[in-house]
Amino acid sequence: MQTTELGAGVVKRGTRLADGRELFYFDDPDTTLGPERAVDARELDERPETATMRQDILSGDWITFATKRQNRVMMPGADADPLAPQTPSNPSEVPARYDVAVFENRSPSFGPALNEATDGAPAAANPTRGLDDLAELGLGRTRTSVGRCEVVCFSPEAEGSFGTQSVTRARTVIEAWADRTAALSALPGIEQVFPFENRGEAIGVTLPHPHGQIYAYPYVTPRTQRLLDSIHRTVPDLMSRVLESERSSERVVLQGEHWTAFVPFAARWPLEVQLMPHRHVPDFAALTDAERDELAPSTCACCAVWMRSTRRRHRTSPPGIRRPCTPAATRCACAWSSPALAAPPTS
């Protein structure tokens, strides 16, 4: 097992699961766990073939067809939780007790193939050929869905979310996000890395265990493309101007030395908070230790505001009427990574 000391006293321990997928343990600075971890002794089937992307000629979007995902676990009970530490009665995905664990998804939408064979990942049969190739339009165009999908377990507990974790645990998760963002960005064929957490069955969550995911895409996602287009059509320092405008508004939720949280002027969801750093950074990996330290309590505070607002919204519902589940968002402005965002645009 490879051991690496990261920032904030977090220790990373890397190993592999029985079918060759990578697994990383990220230990809290005040962990009670020892350095040893159990070996995954399961007998697993070979990993499925990498999915295929098809181009929608009407929009130019690339859609991945990952048919093997239909066999994944759907809302199991705590005794069959695939993200819990393994027990004799539950041969889960994580062999040992952990603080934070990150591993390759067993049913990925992207990967395991990459544009080039790399550290156990096979070479794609029909690899992507750069952003210019993906931008071309044509009937029947396909490419291999190169990339990587990873699961981030925030806690070994069966229920919860990122927002229910302690500040110390949130800081460990942020260190994991930064470490994996740097590693995934360096893989051949990766154009954007996006850590995220989905909440609720209505939005597609299949496991109640507190966890998020990291997607390493072979293209720049449509929303990020639109953001870049807005920058090119206006001014190179658009993000700085947005931050200045929001900081002078009445919608600021909290403000620190390195981060500001605010309800955006044109919020897309009934409940939405955005966190934006006070300097231009491309991704989590580029944050300083001080910025990561402040981000941990800031995200916890934003999640607490969201949860209080959600509970209050349900309490104000008329008797006998239950409000439908509505999407809500806490977004971090540097939550995605793309080479195109490595520096402010100059033209």
**Which residues are designated catalytic?**
211
> Alpha-carbon distance 333 to 340, whole Å?
15
Tell me which H or E stretch contains 27.
strand 22-27
With left for phi above 0 and alpha for psi between -120 and 50, is residue 75 left, alpha or beta? left
Neighbours of 89 (CB within 10 A): 7
Q: Which of 15, 275, 70 is nearest to 162 (CA)?
A: 275
Q: Tokens 């919860």 belong to which residue?
A: 160
Tokens of 249: 């508004």
Half-sphere exposure of 229 (CA within 13 A, CB side): 7
Tokens of 271: 């409940």
DSSP state of 150: E
Kindly state the tokens that stand for 202.
Answer: 């209505």
CA separation, residue 38 to residues 31, 86, 100, 343 (Å) = 17, 9, 15, 42
- The residue length of the chain stands at 347
